[in-house]
A and B are shown apart, each in its own frame.
Chain A
Amino acid sequence: MSIAEIQQAEGRGTPALGRFLRKRSVLGRFFRKRSGVAGLAMLVVPLVAGLCAPLLVRIEGQDPSTLHTDLLNPDGGRPLGAFGGVSADHWLGVVPVTGVDLFAQIVYGIRSSLFIAFGASILSIAFAAVLGTATGYFGGWLNAVAGRVIDFMFGFPGLMFVIAIMAIVPPEMPRGLVLVLVLAFFGWTVPARIIGAQAGAINARAFVEAARATGAPPWQIIRREMLPHLFGLVVVLFAMSLPGNVSVVAGLSFLGVGLRGDVPDLGKLLSDSLPWIYSGADVWYMLFPGAVVFLIVFGATLAGDALRDVLDVRTEDAA
């Protein structure tokens, strides 16, 4: 058999094509799940809107800061017109009292909320992946120490602590960045434990022992034998940590310890809209940003669930 023939046979046999089809089939299965596609759409539409915020707002012909007091009822500051002042000029109406364009506030708000949620999720899952893989591979005292630290973090009232920290952050510090760091600090523990358990199970499998017996160095074993088996789990954990972080960011802004006053933010819009829904004067002020938060959180949860089913993290390689 010549080398050309071997390579030809191999090409037909599988690697390039086979692996492509394999990946395709994961995506294919994902796109055949209706809940996954719906979730992805609910996540992607607001995401794109946030990314394209300046463009969209320019198309609308507005900006996030101009006050349109002429559109407000002089008695109490309620927007004039139906649905909180929805019109061709102001697609989602205007904010009571100030008359700022609500659509512009929301798309810019998506930007800051998602930036923080993504940043916190990426940081915490990356750290969890590194720590989990290391504890799974090396075990021993590293595993024992990491395990006790995680236990300690479990017993720690994380959300209280976040609120307290955000309340005392000096005004000159970038609040967005602080939020990312603080959320990441409390977000790595559960994923790290899950990844660590999975890495330990893989480390105990025969093919890892076989690689060790050939004299493979630790890094090669981690990189070539273990990481490919952990990848799906890491992706799923990331997808599942995202909605939690989005709602915590919104919640913190709602409590008034999120982003600074002049930065548009979904949670802050919700917080500001509270009195208007109590009095029933302007229901729409809460409805629009609330729907967007709901869409993102629900969409990310659906997509994460579907991804977990498709990658079948718990029973992988069973076939």
Chain B
Amino acid sequence: MSEPILEMTDVSKRYRAAGGFGRGRKGFLAVDGVSLHVERGEALGLVGESGSGKSTLARMANGLVVPTSGTVRTDGQDIARLSRRGLRRLRRNVAMVFQDPLASLNPRQTVRQTLENVFRAHGETTSTAELAALLESVGPGADYLGRYPHEASGGQLQRVAVARALALKPALIIADEPTSALDVSVRAQILNLLADLQRDQGISFLHVSHDLAVIRLYSDRVAVMQRGRIVETGPSDEIFRSPQHPCTRALVEATPEAELPA
């Protein structure tokens, strides 16, 4: 079996308290000795309540957050050993979709400029036809190229953000709560889009969410985080059917669909 796309071994992240001089100011341990892996083509769901460290953990996969200790191997490379250039090159293969598209897209750039900048970052140029095809592959028509973020709906914007992630044909996409800022009516559409990408293009996913129902439907495996640690991990259906850890049980019970008849 080939090497996992993402492999984290015993990673921790401690945020130092501001102006942290003197003893007794140990800061805040956001991630505490976590190990996890994502196989190629797999979608791993990372669930946990707010502040459990799941976003911090996800950002270690592409070097946006540098772990205090432990090793992160992404796409076969030890992130700590990469140069700045190497890290930038790695980010070609590891894209990211953020929570709120209105915040993660520059309000002063048209969709076209946003997409062009992704190619520019790696010294590439693109044609209008390529950009149009990229955008159409995730939904919005080519006429969106000329729009500014405030001129499109949240759902269409998140599709633009997905197009940005897909631009460089990544092997892994980190989706950090990709639907929690969207209207309920468009959530399923975005999630289906991401699921299609996993199935049709073999892209791996690290899907962060606080919503276990979402994770269950769209992830092969689930890891449950609480206070910086992974407390339970396993195949989605199994976790959902027989949660072991009290934290997981609480999350399952908080999921409305659990009470619906099958």
Residues of chain A having any CB pair with chain B under 8 Å: 1, 3, 5-7, 9-15, 18, 205-207, 209-217, 220, 224-225, 228-229, 317, 319
Nearest B-chain residue to A215, judged by Cβ: B91
Q: Are B121 and A216 in contact (CB under 8 A)?
A: yes
Which 6 residue pairs spanning A and B have beta carbons closest together?
Answer: A13-B146, A215-B91, A10-B146, A216-B121, A206-B103, A9-B143
Interface size class of B (residues with CB under 8 A): 35 or more
Q: How far is the CB of B33 from chain A (nearest CB, A)?
A: 25
Given A207-B106, A209-B64, A210-B105: A217 in contact with B143 (beta carbons within 8 A): no
Interchain CB contact under 8 A, A210 and B98: yes
**Is there an interface contact between B147 and A13, defined as CB atoms closer than 8 Å?**
yes
Contacts of A14 in B (CB 8 A): 110, 146-148, 151
Q: List 17 A-B contacts (CB under 8 A).
A: A1-B132, A7-B128, A9-B146, A10-B142, A14-B148, A15-B110, A15-B112, A205-B103, A213-B91, A214-B91, A214-B117, A214-B167, A215-B92, A217-B121, A224-B106, A224-B113, A319-B150
Q: Chain B residues with Cβ under 8 A from A225's Cβ?
A: 106
The listed residue (B104, B113, B120, B129) touching A210 by CB distance below 8 A is B104
Q: When chains A and B are docked, how far (Å) is the Cα of A125 from the Cα of B110?
A: 29
Interface residues of B in 128-149 (CB under 8 A from A): 128-129, 132, 141-148
Q: Which of A10, A215, A228 contacts B122 (CB under 8 A)?
A: A215
Does B96 touch A at the CB level, under 8 Å? yes
User: Does B187 count as interface, using CB distance less than 8 angstroms?
Assistant: no
**Chain B nearest CB: distance from A151 CB in Å?**
15
CA A157 – CA B145 in complex, angstroms? 54
**In the complex the two chains form, is A10's CB within 8 Å of B98's CB?**
no
Binding site for A on B (CB under 8 A): 62, 64, 87-92, 95-96, 98-100, 103-110, 112-113, 117-118, 120-122, 127-129, 132, 141-148, 150-151, 161, 164, 167-168, 174
Residue of A nearest to B131 (CB): A6
Q: Contact: A207 with B89, CB < 8 Å? A: no
Output the least CB separation between A202 and chain B (Å). Answer: 10
Q: Contact partner of B143 among A10, A211, A216, CB < 8 A?
A: A10
- B122 lies within 8 A of A211 (CB): no
* Residue pair A216, B108 in contact (C-beta under 8 Å): no
A residues near B148, Cβ cutoff 8 Å: 14, 18
Taking A3-B129, A10-B145, A10-B146 as contacts, is the C-beta distance between A217 and B164 under 8 angstroms? no
Closest beta carbon of chain B to A12's beta carbon, Å: 8
B254, chain A: closest CB distance, angstroms: 27
Contact in complex: B168, A214 (CB < 8 Å):
yes
Contact between B108 and A220 (Cβ–Cβ < 8 Å)?
Answer: no
Alpha-carbon distance between A23 and B63 when the two chains are bound, in angstroms: 38
- Min CB–CB distance A3 → chain B (angstroms): 5
CB distance from B55 to the nearest CB of A (A): 11
Tell me the complex Cα distance, A12–B142, Å: 12
Decide: A215 near B128, CB < 8 A? Known: A210-B96, A210-B164, A224-B117: no
Q: Given A14-B151, A213-B95, A215-B92, A1–B108 Cβ distance below 8 Å?
A: no
Which of B64, B98, B146, B147 has the most A CB atoms < 10 Å from its CB? B146
Are A207's CB and B104's CB within 8 A? yes
Contacts of A18 in B (CB 8 A): 146, 148
* Interchain CA distance A17-B4 in the complex, whole Å: 49
Contacts of B106 in A (CB 8 A): 207, 211, 224-225, 228
Given contacts A214-B91, A214-B117, A220-B121, contact A228 B108 (CB under 8 A): yes
How far is B146's CA from A5's CA once the two chains are assembled, in angstroms?
12
Cβ contact within 8 Å between A206 and B142: no
CB–CB A6/B132 < 8 A: yes
Q: What residues of A have a CB within 8 angstroms of the CB of B164 in the complex?
A: 210, 214
Q: Which residues of A contact B62 (CB under 8 A)?
A: 213
Answer whether A215 and B104 are a contact pair too, CB < 8 Å, given A3-B129, A6-B142.
no
The smallest beta-carbon distance between A21 and chain B, in angstroms, is: 12
In the complex, the chain B residue whose C-beta lies closest to that of A211 is B117
Chain A contacts for B103, CB-based, 8 A: 205-207
Residues of chain B within 8 A (CB-CB) of A3 are 127-129, 132
Docked complex Cα distance between A170 and B175 (Å)? 66
- B146–A15 touching, CB < 8 Å: yes
Q: For the complex, give the distance between the alpha carbons of A212 and B88 in Å.
A: 8
CB distance from B174 to the nearest CB of A (A): 8
Q: Which B residues are in CB contact (< 8 Å) with A228?
A: 106, 108
A1 to B145, CA, bound (A): 13
